[in-house]
Amino acid sequence: MSLRSDRIGWALLLAVIGFALLAPAFDQTGPLKQSLLKALAGPDAAAPFGYDHLGRSLFSRLAHALRLSLTIAFAATATAAVVGIGLGVLAAWRGGWIDRALGLVADSVLALPALLMVLMMGVILPGMGAAFWAGIAAVQWIEFFRLTRRACRAVMDGPAVEAARIQGFGPAWIFRRILWPEIGPVLRTAMAFGVAGAIAAIAALGFVSVGVPAPTPELGQMMVELLPSWREAPVAVAQPVAACFVLLLSLNLIAGGRA
């Protein structure tokens, strides 16, 4: 993947985020107001993207659904990154039983699919938003942990760190000048994939009707609701599908060809 596709990715992502943030400002109807008379009607001044099967504004619902997905996904991945990087550095730095114990915890959670974790969290925690955040973060921190630990280990045993120590530099300098420049780019990729994974997970559970409960707008749930009317209003169905696709594509382009 070239630098160019990376830029396209950022442009697409910023466009989606911009829509999610700004659209509600131009919207008078809100995502929940029904007017069954307008069910599946085309665009008008109040609803520039048309209406869904219950006559709710698709413009408004799409913007709120994107807000929800982006907020949960970024929060979950950011939490996972902070926890994973912190524990990864700790494991590589201290080694010994701390390293082994953290490794075993990571390997144990690794065996469990993220969706399963989210579903179990959904029973434990009061809201699906919290369940997505906790369940996804509980699985994603492992990737950051493993990447950080591996990169740090390779660097920690190297002459550059030995040289820094002999010259009197402390752990803070070693992290800022040696470790972070090494792991930063890798973690950026992992973060983009992480956010993409979270967004896909939210939509997938919405699609199989165990995600964010109606009537709160959510991409997967919107798709499954509109699906029965796909012959009458194909444009309406296409909207959440396209939004989801563009969002995931942008994040994959940002992550680049590396895994």
Which residues bind to other proteins, rule: CB under 8 A? 1, 104-105, 107-117, 119-125, 158-160, 162-169, 173, 177-178, 181-182, 196, 200, 203-204, 207-210, 220, 223, 227, 230, 241, 244-245, 248-249, 252-253, 257, 259
User: Whole-number minimum distance, CB 129 to other proteins, in Å?
Assistant: 16
Choose between 27 and 193: whose C-beta lies nearer to other proteins: 193
Residue 91: closest CA among 135, 156, 136, 138 = 156
- Written as six digits, the tokens of 41 are 């009607």
In the complex with other proteins, the residue whose CB is nearer, 96 or 168, is 168
Residue 57: strand pairing partners: 51
CA distance 59 to 72: 20
Within a 10 A sphere around the Cβ of 232, how many other Cβ atoms?
A: 12
Shortest CB 61 distance to other proteins, Å: 18
Closer residue to other proteins, CB minimum distance, 47 or 253? 253
The radius of gyration of the chain from alpha carbons, rounded to an integer in Å, stands at 22
Instruction: Work out how close the CB of 76 gets to other proteins at its nearest, in angstroms, rounded to a whole number.
Output: 16
What is the sign, positive or negative, of the torsion defined by CA atoms of 110, 112, 116, 118?
negative
Nearest-approach distance from CB 84 to other proteins, in angstroms: 17
Given the complex with other proteins, which of 47 and 80 has the nearer CB atom?
A: 80
CB 159 within 8 A of CB 100: no
Helix spans in 111-179 (H): 114-124, 128-156, 159-166, 171-173
Give the nearer residue to other proteins in terms of CB position, either 44 or 162. 162
Minimal distance, residue 41 CB to other proteins, in Å: 23
